[in-house]
Amino acid sequence: MAQSARLNDLVARAKLHKMTPAERRAQRVSLVMGLRGHNSTLTKEKVETLLGELEGIA
List the chain pLDDT tens, one digit each, 58 residues. 688 989 999 999 999 999 999 999 999 999 999 999 999 999 999 999 999 999 887 5
**Which pLDDT score, from 0 to 100, does residue 57 have?**
78
Identify whether the C-beta of residue 29 lies closer than 8 Å to the C-beta of residue 51. Answer: yes
* 34 C-beta neighbours (distance < 10 Å), count: 7
Helical residues (DSSP H) of the chain, grouped into ranges:
2-16, 21-35, 44-54
Within a domain: 12: no
CA distance 34 to 54: 19
Residue 52 in domain: yes
pLDDT at 1: 64
What is the structure's pLDDT at 58? 59
Please provide residue 46's backbone torsions phi and psi, each rounded to the nearest 5 degrees.
-65, -40
Residue 46 is which amino acid? K
What is the pLDDT at residue 27? 96
48 part of a folded domain: yes
Q: Is residue 9 part of a domain?
A: no
Give me the domain span that covers residue 34. Answer: 20-58
Residue 2 in domain = no
Domain tally, the chain: 1
